[in-house]
C-alpha cells in the first residue's frame, strides 16, 4: 500500500481521500490547510508541517483545491510542494483550474524530475462519495498509467485526453454543458409550474423521453424539493465559467449561452446565494418570473 499526500480535504476531497483510505493507503496532509475532518484522522490520516514536508514524505501528491491561485501557492509558494520533490515523484492535480496555467505548472514540476498529471473530475459530492467520478486526465501515458490505480479507487469513467492541460480543457467543456443544461432544466420547470402543471410530475414524464438527463434527474429533483445544500456551489461554477469565457477570449471565439448562464449565476450571487448548490440557478429565473417552482 502507498503513502499518498492529499491537500484539499473539502466537500469533494474528503470522500475522495476516504476511498483511498478504504483501499488501505496511508494518507498525509499539510498542517497549513484547514483542519481535516475527524473521520479522516480516525482512519489514520497523518498531518505534516508544510507542503514541502509532505512532498518529501510521499511519492505521490494529490491536490483538490478551489482555484488556480491556491494550486499555485501550494505548489510554488514558500515551503511549497515543488521544494520537496525529486525524480520519480508524481503530482496529480484534481482541482478544476486554468488550462493555460496548468501547462506552466507542469513544466515547472517536470523540471524537478517529478511527473505531473492534471485530472479534474465531474460528478459532485455524490460521485466523490460513491467513487463514481468521471476523471479527465492530461499527462504522459507513463504518468497516467502510474496514477490509474488511484483513479480507479475514486472514479469509473477515466480517460487520458492528452498531455498536461488537456484534462483541464475537457473539464471546462464539461462545465459549459452542465451549466447550460441546468439552465435549460430550470427554464422548463419554471415554465411548467407557472403554466399550472405539477413540476414533479412534469419532471417524471420528461425522464422517460429524449429530454432525460442526469441533471434533470438529480438537479430537477432539487429544484422541485427546494433542496439546495451544496454538492457543487454556485461560486465554484462561476469560477469554471470564468475559465471558459477567458479561454474563449484568448481563442477568439464566442460562447454566447455560456455568457448568459454566467449572468444568471451572477444574479444568484448578488442575492447572497453563491454558497447554494448550482441547481439554485433556478432561483434567478424564478425571480424574473415572479414564481417559484414548487
- On whether the CB atoms of residues 74 and 106 are closer than 8 A, the answer is no
Nearest of 16, 27, 14, 31 to residue 58 by alpha carbon: 27
Q: Which helix (H) or strand (E) holds 6?
A: strand 3-7
Q: How far apart are CA 207 and CA 148, in angstroms?
A: 34
Strands 121-122 and 133-138: antiparallel
Cell numbers standing for residue 242: 470564468
CA 234 from centre of chain:
12
Known catalytic residue at 52:
no
Length of the chain: 294
Which residues lie below 8 Å from residue 204, measured CB to CB, with a gap of 6+? none
What are the beta bridge partners of residue 30?
48
The residue to which cell 484539499 is assigned: 8
Cell numbers standing for residue 72: 499555485
- Helices in 91-233 by DSSP H: which ranges? 99-111, 124-130, 141-154, 166-194, 199-206, 214-225
Out of 103, 107, 156, 171, the active site residue is 171
- On whether the CB atoms of residues 240 and 171 are closer than 8 A, the answer is yes
Active site residues: 171
Amino acid at each position: 500500500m502507498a503513502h499518498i499526500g492529499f491537500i484539499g480535504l473539502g466537500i469533494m476531497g474528503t470522500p475522495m481521500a476516504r476511498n483511498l483510505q478504504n483501499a488501505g493507503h496511508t494518507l498525509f496532509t499539510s498542517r497549513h490547510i484547514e483542519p481535516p475532518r475527524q473521520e479522516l484522522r480516525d482512519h489514520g490520516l497523518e498531518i505534516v508541517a508544510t507542503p514541502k514536508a509532505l512532498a518529501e514524505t510521499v511519492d505521490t501528491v494529490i491536490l483538490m483545491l478551489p482555484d488556480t491561485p491556491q494550486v499555485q501557492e501550494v505548489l510554488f509558494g514558500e515551503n511549497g510542494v515543488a521544494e520537496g520533490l525529486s525524480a520519480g515523484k508524481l503530482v496529480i492535480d484534481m482541482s478544476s483550474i486554468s488550462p493555460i496555467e496548468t501547462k506552466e505548472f507542469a513544466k515547472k514540476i517536470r523540471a524537478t524530475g517529478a511527473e505531473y498529471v492534471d485530472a479534474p473530475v465531474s460528478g459532485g459530492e455524490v460521485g466523490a462519495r460513491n467513487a463514481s467520478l468521471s476523471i479527465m486526465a492530461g499527462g504522459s501515458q507513463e504518468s497516467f498509467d502510474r496514477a490509474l490505480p488511484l483513479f480507479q479507487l475514486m472514479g469509473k469513467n477515466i480517460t487520458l485526453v492528452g498531455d498536461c492541460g488537456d484534462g483541464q480543457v475537457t473539464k471546462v467543456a464539461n462545465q459549459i454543458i452542465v451549466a447550460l443544461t441546468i439552465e435549460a432544466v430550470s427554464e422548463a420547470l419554471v415554465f411548467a409550474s407557472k403554466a399550472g402543471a405539477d413540476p414533479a410530475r412534469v419532471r417524471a414524464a420528461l425522464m422517460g423521453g429524449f429530454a432525460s438527463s442526469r441533471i434533470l434527474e438529480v438537479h430537477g429533483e432539487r429544484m422541485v424539493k427546494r433542496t439546495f445544500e451544496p454538492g457543487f456551489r454556485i461560486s465554484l461554477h462561476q469560477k469554471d465559467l470564468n475559465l471558459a469565457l477567458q479561454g474563449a477570449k484568448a481563442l477568439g471565439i464566442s460562447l454566447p449561452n455560456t455568457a448568459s448562464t454566467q449572468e444568471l449565476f451572477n444574479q444568484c450571487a448578488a442575492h447572497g446565494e453563491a454558497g447554494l448548490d448550482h441547481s439554485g440557478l433556478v432561483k434567478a429565473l424564478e425571480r424574473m418570473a415572479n414564481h417559484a417552482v414548487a
